[in-house]
Amino acid sequence: MVDVRQAVLQAVQTLESEGVESPRLEAELLLAHAAGTNRAWVLAHPERPLTPKELTRFRDLAARRARREPLAYITGRREFFGLDLAVDPRVLIPRPETELLVERALDLARRLSGPALVADVGAGSGAIAVALAVHLPDATVYALDETPGPLAVTSENARRHGVADRVLCLQGDLLTPLPEVVHLVCANLPYVGSEEWGALAPEIREYEPRAALDGGPGGLEVIRRLLATAGPHLRPGGAVLLEIGAEQGAAARALAGEHFPGARVEVHQDYAGLDRLVVVQT
């Protein structure tokens, strides 16, 4: 019989040889998933023999990861802002840096005199929309996406966290389906430059939806379109919050100033000190 320790070590060697970062951590998480438990259990039971079914399932999962399929797609989940979210290849995997946008949006929403109305453009998994709805109990959040697949994932996550009645999914281009003006427009739109695509990690380039990442030459084409059309959808004193690439701060600030003359435009850095968020306050 193969025990937990042996199975993990075998998988670590395989993942390491294929260039997977943090191979031990990922092997432990995959084994936990295969055994229907958690990583703490894996660490606490190194000598526990795996059943043939568990071992077969684990080796299948490890083989998928060795082919550089993202861990989140294999397990079907990702944590974001303290929430356990369902994810699949129809949506971009939520990143920790997007939590900065949620933190800033919560700060602005809590300054309002009444319930917030929010639009999450390009909702994907619903990470932003669901996190805002969970932490703003009176808010209404419109989750907007151009295709039905991501909106199905958003709906699932909204139901999972008890906010389906306040996360309203609408299909259409950018802000086109929005039925009313809102206080906040939040968006993690594609911002990877097309010319950068070939240099991305295989997990991103080969598995994540390109439409959610590729922002055209220079990376700002979709962001430019949103800024050009957002004004009429904002209430007086409203704000637009946009995630951007680490080298796009100056260009995104200039775009915001062009479409919102007189507005207060700020570029915020993430915890690594990189430009990550543009906030336009009208």
- Say if pTM beats, i.e. exceeds, 0.85: yes
Residue 72 lies in a domain: no
pLDDT score for 85: 98
Task: Report the share of the chain in percent with pLDDT over 90.
Answer: 99
If we measure between CA atoms, which residue out of 21, 160, 15, 18 comes closest to residue 31?
Answer: 15
Residue 148 lies in a domain: yes
User: pLDDT tens across 17-76, in order?
Assistant: 999 999 999 999 999 999 999 999 999 999 999 999 999 999 999 999 999 999 999 999
Q: Which residues pair with 242 in a beta bridge?
A: 187, 278
Instruction: Measure Cα distances from 176 to 2, 31, 170, 243, 259 in Å.
Output: 56, 44, 9, 20, 18
**How many domains, in total, are found in the chain?**
2
- Does 27 share its domain with 157? no
Residue 96 lies in a domain: yes
- Does 135 share its domain with 254? yes
Tell me the CA end-to-end span of the chain in Å, nearest whole number.
Answer: 65
- Does 106 share its domain with 234? yes
Which CATH number is 178's domain given?
Answer: 3.40.50.150
- Does 244 share its domain with 133? yes
CB of 169 within 8 A of CB of 123?
Answer: yes
Which CATH number is 11's domain given?
Answer: 1.10.8.10
- Domain that residue 231 falls in: 77-281
Range 121-132 average pLDDT: 98
Of 43, 67, 91, at which residue does a domain stop?
A: 67
Tokens of 256: 């915001």
- Does 219 share its domain with 114? yes
User: pLDDT tens across 114-123, in order?
Assistant: 999 999 999 9
Q: Is the pLDDT of residue 209 over 90?
A: yes
Task: Report the share of the chain in percent with pLDDT over 70.
Answer: 100
Of 18, 45, 67, at which residue does a domain stop?
A: 67
